[in-house]
Amino acid sequence: MTVRYSAPGRVNLIGEHTDYNLGFALPIALPQRTSVVFDSDTSDVLEVSSALGDGPVRVPLATKPGEVADWAGYVAGVVWALRCAGHAVPGGTMSITSDVEVGSGLSSSAALECAVLGALLTSAGIELDRIEQARIAQRAENEYVGAPTGLLDQLASLFGEPGQAMLIDFRDVTVQSVPFAPESSGTALLLIDSRARHAHAGGEYAARRASCERAAAALGVASLREVSTASALQAVKDPVDARRARHIVTENQRVLECVAAMAASDFTAAGALWTASHESMRDDFEITTPHLDLIAASAVQAGAFGARMTGGGFGGCVIALVPEERVDDVTDAVLRAVRDAGYQEPLVTRTHAGGGAGLGDSA
């Protein structure tokens, strides 16, 4: 039996690095997807080919962390995590295609994990709820690939719906649909790919996570979600940890305010929250770069309601909410600023909320 399964990348509208602090985030799934075609057989090997690699990679079903690297490590990680959870995984041949750009902060890794997981589960006739699927995909990434990421990307890829953002509460692990169709109010969502690439297996992401954990421990709380006002952070003596924690506490608040602004179709207010989020990531959490700061600032200067880096940081994409009549001005201003500063030309596109993981190649 041939199974076709696909899963999207995501853009996080607001709520960065809040996931592993058990806070709130507000992602959308992207129209861009990773697709898997899987033919199972009775062997104990997966033979996986992808346009990302030179030739097929053999993944033994008994694979262990550390054995398979690069993009195929995510596939092997899903096999490993599924088996750890007690599920029988079939062997076979798998081919992967994707239009989710790798390393651009759009969660190409979660799209790959969720597409592979869906194909394997469908083929084996196993039904797992989407929260459980997200946890298995996250375990693949944390323990097989070695990137200490949270649950945001997998939940966004699995729960995405056209025209809807998802309000995720990571303490209760609940996902609530929030209508997001700014185009119906004359507002465009621009995705500005800086083309500067990032990786989260590196030390900066883990260092931010450790700072947050130390701050929570200093306050005697299980997670920074328990802290509702930035003034409570005076008890965190380390100034760097205190600043990192302030980003988390204020960002959780901004997510909830952004949901309220969107419910009122107030994109001026939502945009201002995005800009404040970018500034918090720049000054308190220190995960932006001068390149991304320039893109976000020049978008706002040219008339965007607001702009912010999206994703884990240190590269990738900026998103901007832009009144329809300013889209050309904003695009030109960003391209000009980036060119004048000597950076690579960014890719500016309009985007919207797409559907989540499922059978077939499209949402």
- State the residues that interact with ligand GLA by CB under 6 A: 12, 16-17, 19-20, 107, 149-150, 152-153, 200, 311-312
Of the candidates 298, 261, 244, the residue with the CA atom closest to the CA atom of residue 167: 261
Tokens found for residue 102: 């790798």
C-alpha span between 118 and 160 (Å, rounded): 15
Cβ closer to ligand GLA: 153 or 241?
Answer: 153
C-alpha span between 156 and 3 (Å, rounded): 22
C-alpha span between 206 and 197 (Å, rounded): 18
In terms of DSSP H, where are the helices of 45-97? 70-84
**Nearest 5°: phi and psi at 239?**
-65, -35
Cβ closer to ligand GLA: 215 or 327?
Answer: 215
C-alpha span between 339 and 314 (Å, rounded): 19
Cβ closer to ligand GLA: 168 or 363?
Answer: 168
Sheet holding 164-169, edge to edge: 24-25, 164-169, 174-179
**Residue 153 annotated among the catalytic residues of the structure:** yes
E strands, 44-173, in order: 45-50, 57-60, 91-98, 164-169
Q: Contact at 8 Å (CB) between 323 and 270?
A: no
Cβ closer to ligand GLA: 200 or 278?
Answer: 200
Please compute Rg for the chain using Cα positions: 20
CB of 86 to ligand GLA, least distance (A): 25
Annotated catalytic residue, options 39, 129, 153, 332:
153
E strands, 126-237, in order: 164-169, 174-179, 187-193
Cβ closer to ligand GLA: 315 or 346?
Answer: 315
Cβ closer to ligand GLA: 26 or 192?
Answer: 26
CB of 362 to ligand GLA, least distance (A): 24
CB of 109 to ligand GLA, least distance (A): 7
Helix (H) or strand (E) holding 209: helix 203-219
Catalytic positions, written as ranges: 153
